[in-house]
Amino acid sequence: MESLNQDALFVWLAASPTPRFEYQGHAFEAYQESAGVPAGSLFRMRLIYDDLRVESALSAWMLSLAKTLGLDVIDIAPIRRQVALHCIELALPLEPSRELLATFPSDLAECHLIRQALPKLSEPGLLVMDMDSTAIQIECIDELAAMAGVGEQVAAITERAMLGELDFEQSLRQRVAQLKGADASIIENLCERLPLMSGLEPMLAELKSHQWRLVVASGGFTPFVGHLKQLLNLDAAFANELVITDGRLVGEVTGKVVDAQFKADVIAACSADWQIPPGQRVAIGDGANDIPMVQAADFGIAFHAKPKLAAAADANIRRLDLRVLPYLLQY
């Protein structure tokens, strides 16, 4: 864990010359992730950041944490991954209060309190991702609608669906109906310029290096998930199929609708197909329609999410990009 910062605590942790370091009246003891947390530690906290200049603020917060919890010794470990972020783990005998966690400098870094066993990055697993606003930066239905001249009408329905105010299938059919008569060429046009979410490719590369299976399950449409499957070498992709006749969108979808329950069922089906063991199934999404999916997984992650999903997930990525995900797994 390289540190270019002059903060003494992080300089020591990066070099790890000794297992114990005295710092401003507190003792820090280093351990390695692979060895497991020290005896007596009931909770873990991972601090993840992208800018080394925040380390001074993080060390100051850790000292405040130790004082508030009455800790004479703080157990700390560097967490190393292939993606270009930085992470440390604290092993704690007590759970920090909400009030204490609220003092964390969340504008500078992410703080993830771990209360459960984490999936193992070093063993084969399954990741099921939502597509729109998770794997890619846009909502495809909204973009298609804008290209078809009905953007405002469709965007309003999408927002209500993402907040969980509308039944998904009903909202899907309402939105698709607005596309009736549009030239089907808008689909290919959008496929060619899908903006991948920041951090997606390095995150997937790290999971692939450990033989993880990668799947997209989307309430969007098959041309887009098919494009991502080929582009990113994914193992499977599921979405809704638009009806096209004579080069025009009919305003309907055909076949079984990929709704919230379908996305949740993908986890069980893919796990069975690939013999993914319990504990190794991860899901990530951003909207209320992803709640059953993240709850069906062993570890569900909300990504820059709407409030209902954020409340239901095991972890929330609030500030940084998808490179955070490997740091939420155990090596």
> Which residue blocks in the chain are alpha helix, DSSP H?
8-15, 55-69, 98-101, 140-148, 151-162, 168-177, 185-191, 200-208, 222-232, 260-274, 291-296, 307-312
Residue pair 100/65 in contact by the 8 Å Cβ criterion: yes
Residue 284 vs residues 124, 324, 328: alpha-carbon distances, Å: 17, 12, 12
**Taken in order 142, 143, 148, 151, is the CA torsion positive or negative?**
positive
Q: How far apart are CA 158 and CA 149, in angstroms?
A: 16
Is 132 part of the annotated catalytic residue set? yes
CA-CA distance, 321 to 328, in Å (whole number)?
13
Tokens 């209060």 appear where?
Answer: 97
CA proximity to 256, closest of 242, 240, 267, 277: 240
| Angle of CA points 69, 29, 105, to nearest 5° | 50
CB 116 within 8 A of CB 314: yes
Distance, CA of 145 to CA of 158 (rounded, Å): 11
Neighbours of 228 (CB within 10 A): 22
Do the Cβ atoms of 99 and 310 come closer than 8 Å? no
DSSP state letter for 117: P
- Catalytic, out of 7, 75, 130, 314: 130
Catalytic: which of 7, 132, 142, 259? 132
Helix-, strand-, coil-residue percentages of the chain, each rounded to 5: 40, 25, 35
Give the end-to-end CA distance of the chain in Å, rounded to a whole number. Answer: 15
The set of catalytic residues is 130, 132
